[in-house]
């Protein structure tokens, strides 16, 4: 029995018998020959079948067949294959056995398979609901068909490589992987953008981030941890970079001196991830996305928020926000400045005002109006927030009260700090945003397996 061969592995085989399976991409049904472009999860190949349109006869009126025995059986099989190919619809799943032959004239990989047998495993409806020019919302309605496209397939192989490289970095440095609960008794950061769900006789909340539990691991003595998992934000935004459910990449480390230690870890992780992606998929990314993957140099540029605002202002843009934060256009402007001055796609914006940071961010020694925190921008868009956390229980309680929070509602969280915890910090980073900006895609919906937003819960 000949086992199925992935299309990407055909070029390494010698000419001879082979079995391939996949989806019908196109059929060219000519009079004397038929061609099928077959696509599987690894690539596409050309199949060829010498067409037989009718059995040879000696008397057409009487229908007398000119062949007998094995020759007749072979001709009938060829005729059945020809008719089956003519009836194939785009997307039908088939298995083909035949003879692999290398032929430089074949544009698709320089090889083809001369068909011997054809098995239609699953027929597709002839009229497909989406086309290459379908809009994004329509494509999302039929995501399983949209994902058959080679570009979409590549996105998730890139994602796999990227996450594997990050995990390799963590594991080789003795980080511990954790899985934190996504059902919580209280908000993980604030009650804004919070999903409330029924939970037996009471209420629960979907976790906005694993923040509190990452910090609990520091109190537990884990030292260095990471998690890749879902996070939920009840955000009514319809921008290209927001989702109500997304994959968050989180890490937290103990025994730090400042947020500079967190930034150093952060940039080393990204270098590891981008190096792996470029090595394995760089050529395909260039071919399908016309993007040259650049492994960022270290250290990444670092600009304090106040200075970044001045730079943006000098470039002719006045940030209109009433608070102390940067807006999306400001992020694009400062990223453009960094690209021009440093030739870098990344920039850390540091030292955010305490007025716009969570209560658990450590404030500057001698200047409580600023925090030991940062946002990381990539190609003009924020992908991550990181900080040194406040580990002193009395300061933590005071900062919570300063934010108008009731320490009683933070009881379990504050308990983490009553029995000794080292200085620590970490970050959370959106996976989809990284992929979107890496591939220069216009929306995170393009790089999310199944997107969830304010108006989308299906498929």
Q: What is the pLDDT of residues 76-126, one digit of tens each?
A: 888 889 999 999 999 999 999 999 999 888 888 889 999 999 999 999 999
Residue 58: pLDDT band by 50, 70, 90 thresholds?
low
Residue 70: pLDDT band by 50, 70, 90 thresholds?
confident
- Residue linked to tokens 């696509």: 39
Look up residue 442 and give its DSSP letter. S
Q: What is the mean pLDDT of residues 334-343?
A: 97
Residues 225, 146: Cα–Cα separation, whole Å: 36
| 430 among annotated binding-site residues | yes
Give the gyration radius of the chain's Cα atoms.
Answer: 29
Share of the chain above pLDDT 70, in %: 96
| 180 among annotated binding-site residues | no
Listed by start position, the domains of the chain span: 7-122, 136-446
CATH class of 7-122: mainly beta
Q: What is the mean pLDDT of residues 284-301?
A: 97
Residue pair 411/225 in contact by the 8 Å Cβ criterion = no
> Distance from first CA to last CA of the chain, Å, rounded?
38
Of 442, 350, 384, 388, give the one whose Cα is nearest residue 247.
384
Torsion angle in degrees (nearest 10) through CA of 439, 444, 449, 452: 180
Quote the CATH superfamily of domain 136-446.
Bira Bifunctional Protein; Domain 2 (3.30.930.10)
Return the H-helix or E-strand segment holding 266.
helix 259-289
| 431 among annotated binding-site residues | yes
Residues 4, 97: Cα–Cα separation, whole Å: 9
* CB neighbourhood size of 314 (10 A): 10
pLDDT number for residue 59 = 64
Q: Give the SS3 label for residue 250.
A: strand
pLDDT of residue 190 exceeding 70: no
pLDDT number for residue 60 = 57
Please state, rounded to an integer, the average pLDDT across all residues of the chain: 93
pLDDT number for residue 83 = 92
pLDDT number for residue 75 = 78
Residue 65: pLDDT band by 50, 70, 90 thresholds?
low
Provide the CA 67 distance to its chain's centre, in angstroms: 58
| 233 among annotated binding-site residues | yes
Residue 164: pLDDT band by 50, 70, 90 thresholds?
very high
pLDDT of residue 265 exceeding 60: yes
pLDDT number for residue 108 = 86
| 433 among annotated binding-site residues | yes
pLDDT number for residue 435 = 98
Torsion angle in degrees (nearest 10) through CA of 95, 97, 102, 107: -30
Torsion angle in degrees (nearest 10) through CA of 238, 445, 284, 124: -140
pLDDT number for residue 189 = 63
Q: What is the mean pLDDT of residues 430-454?
A: 97
pLDDT of residue 224 exceeding 80: yes
Locate 182 and state its tokens.
């996504």
| 432 among annotated binding-site residues | yes
Which of 5-10's residues contact partners 24+ apart within 8 Å by CB, and which partners?
Answer: 6/40, 6/41, 6/42, 6/43, 7/38, 7/39, 7/40, 7/42, 7/43, 7/44, 7/45, 7/109, 8/42, 8/43, 9/42, 10/45, 10/100, 10/109, 10/111, 10/113
| 302 among annotated binding-site residues | no
pLDDT number for residue 66 = 67
Share of the chain above pLDDT 90, in %: 81
| 202 among annotated binding-site residues | no
pLDDT number for residue 1 = 46
Residue pair 197/205 in contact by the 8 Å Cβ criterion = yes
């Amino acid at each position: 029995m000949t086992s199925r061969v992935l299309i990407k592995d055909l070029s390494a085989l010698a000419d001879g018998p082979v079995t391939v399976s996949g989806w019908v991409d196109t059929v060219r049904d000519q009079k004397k020959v038929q061609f099928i472009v077959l696509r599987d999860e690894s690539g596409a190949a050309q199949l060829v079948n010498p067409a037989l349109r009718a059995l040879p006869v000696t008397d057409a009126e009487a229908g007398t067949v000119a062949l007998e025995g094995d020759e007749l059986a072979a001709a009938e099989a060829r005729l059945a294959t020809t008719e089956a190919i003519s009836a194939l619809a785009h997307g039908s799943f088939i298995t083909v056995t035949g003879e692999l032959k290398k032929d430089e004239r074949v544009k698709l990989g320089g090889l083809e398979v001369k068909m011997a047998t054809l098995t239609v495993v699953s027929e597709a409806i002839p009229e497909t609901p989406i086309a290459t020019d379908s809009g994004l919302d329509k494509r999302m309605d039929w995501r399983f068909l949209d994902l058959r496209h080679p570009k979409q397939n590549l996105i998730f192989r890139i994602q796999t490589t990227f996450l594997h490289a990050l995990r390799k970095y963590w594991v080789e440095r003795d980080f511990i992987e954790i899985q934190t609960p996504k059902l919580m008794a209280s908000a993980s950061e604030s009650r804004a953008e919070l999903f409330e769900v029924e939970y037996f006789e009471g209420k629960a909340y979907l976790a906005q981030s694993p923040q509190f539990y990452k910090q609990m691991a520091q109190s537990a003595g884990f030292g260095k941890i990471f998690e890749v998992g879902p996070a939920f934000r009840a955000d009514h935004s319809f921008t290209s970079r927001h989702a109500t459910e997304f994959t968050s990449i989180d890490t937290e480390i103990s025994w730090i001196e400042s947020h500079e230690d967190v930034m150093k870890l952060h940039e080393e992780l990204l270098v590891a991830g981008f190096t792996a992606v470029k090595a394995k998929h760089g050529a395909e990314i260039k071919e399908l996305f016309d993007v040259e993957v650049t492994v960022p140099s270290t250290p990444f540029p670092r600009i304090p928020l106040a200075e970044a605002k001045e730079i943006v202002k000098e470039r002719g843009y006045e940030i209109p926000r009433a608070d102390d934060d940067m807006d999306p256009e400001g992020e694009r402007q400062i990223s453009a400045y960094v690209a021009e001055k440093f030739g870098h796609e990344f920039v850390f914006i540091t030292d955010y005002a305490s007025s716009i940071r969570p209560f658990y961010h450590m404030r500057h020694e001698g200047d409580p109006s600023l925090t030991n925190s940062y946002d990381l921008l990539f190609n003009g868009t924020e992908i991550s927030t990181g900080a040194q956390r406040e580990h002193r229980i009395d300061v933590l309680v005071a900062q919570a009260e300063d934010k108008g929070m009731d320490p009683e509602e933070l009881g379990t969280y504050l308990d983490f700090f009553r029995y000794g915890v080292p200085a620590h910090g970490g970050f959370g980073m959106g996976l989809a945003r990284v992929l979107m900006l890496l591939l220069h895609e216009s929306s995170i919906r393009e790089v999310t397996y199944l997107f969830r937003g304010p108006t989308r819960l299906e498929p």
